[in-house]
Amino acid sequence: MLYFIGIGLADERDISLRGLEVIEKCKKVYLESYTSKLQCDVKALEKLYDKKVVLADRKLVEREADTILDDAVDSDVAFLVIGDSMGATTHTDLMLRAREKKIKFEVIFNASVLNAVGIVGLELYKYGKTTSIPFPTKSYKPETAYDVIKMNSSMGLHTLVLLDVKPPKFMTVNQGISELLKIEDKRKEKVFNEDTLVVGCARLGAKDFVIKSGSVQDIVDLDFGKPLHCLIVVGKLHFMEEDALKMWK
């Protein structure tokens, strides 16, 4: 049996009781280690689980997935995911591969950034399509995030912008804003500028989380500290949402 287990956003204690009970009976425990960042040391997980935790990088999960799947043919295997267990397409891909091999699997959910942003006070059902900003290169400067913000804003919807994770590099709120301003400067479509209302978030789910709301010019130079960061571009506001954002101004 292959268990997909979300372990939450902050530290080793965020795992559910159900998830912990499953890990206790698993012969092998993998931790997907490249789509997000753990807010505690892996040793803290190992101490709580009383198990060795094998770090599963992109190569192992995407190109050598049979290593994980073969372990699950005759024994129980835990595949741990920071945040929610189905937070990325790579996790869905592994699930589909398990099904092709007729390996039984079970999914145990947890909190992710997609629902943790609820603390900001913007109504979750008023978010449009989620987007992301990758680190640009000389030959790769995508403008997808700008287009998604444009589309969502036209409908009055908020946009959650996830910021790139390429260990040891993690994109900051400041860098994300800078990339969007560069696209605006190039396209001049008045989608994202210094007056745009945004919310910068860092380490949601952890005790030392940071949330700051304001215009781009208010936020762009603030220090949000350690990763992980995300950015929200605010759409049309209900009066209750306006009151909520005042908490983080």
| Predicted pLDDT at 167 | 86
Q: What is the pLDDT of residues 27-74, one digit of tens each?
A: 999 999 999 998 999 999 999 999 999 999 999 999 999 999 999 999
Tokens read off for 187: 């396209």
| Predicted pLDDT at 69 | 97
| Predicted TM-score of the model (pTM) | 0.95
Q: What is the pLDDT of residues 190-246, one digit of tens each?
A: 999 999 999 999 999 999 999 999 999 999 999 999 999 999 999 999 999 999 999
Tokens read off for 23: 């890990």
Cβ-proximal residues to 233 (8 Å cutoff; 6+ apart), any chain? 149, 152, 153, 158, 159, 161, 192, 196, 197, 198
Domains and CATH numbers, the chain: 2-111 (3.40.1010.10), 114-246 (3.30.950.10)
Q: What is the pLDDT of residues 161-187, one digit of tens each?
A: 999 999 889 999 999 999 999 999 999
Tokens read off for 119: 């603390």
- How distant, in Å, are the alpha carbons of 22, 51, 149, 166, 248 from that of 171? 34, 32, 18, 8, 21
Mean pLDDT within 148-169: 96
Q: What is the pLDDT of residues 86-142, one digit of tens each?
A: 999 999 999 999 999 999 999 999 999 999 999 999 999 999 999 999 999 999 999
| Predicted pLDDT at 222 | 98
| Predicted pLDDT at 204 | 97
Q: Is 184 exposed, middle or buried (0-12, 13-18, 19+ CB in 10 A)?
A: buried
| Predicted pLDDT at 73 | 96
Rounded to whole angstroms, the Cα distance separating 184 from 49 reads: 48
What phi, psi does 97 have (nearest 5°)? -65, -40
Rounded to whole angstroms, the Cα distance separating 224 from 120 reads: 15
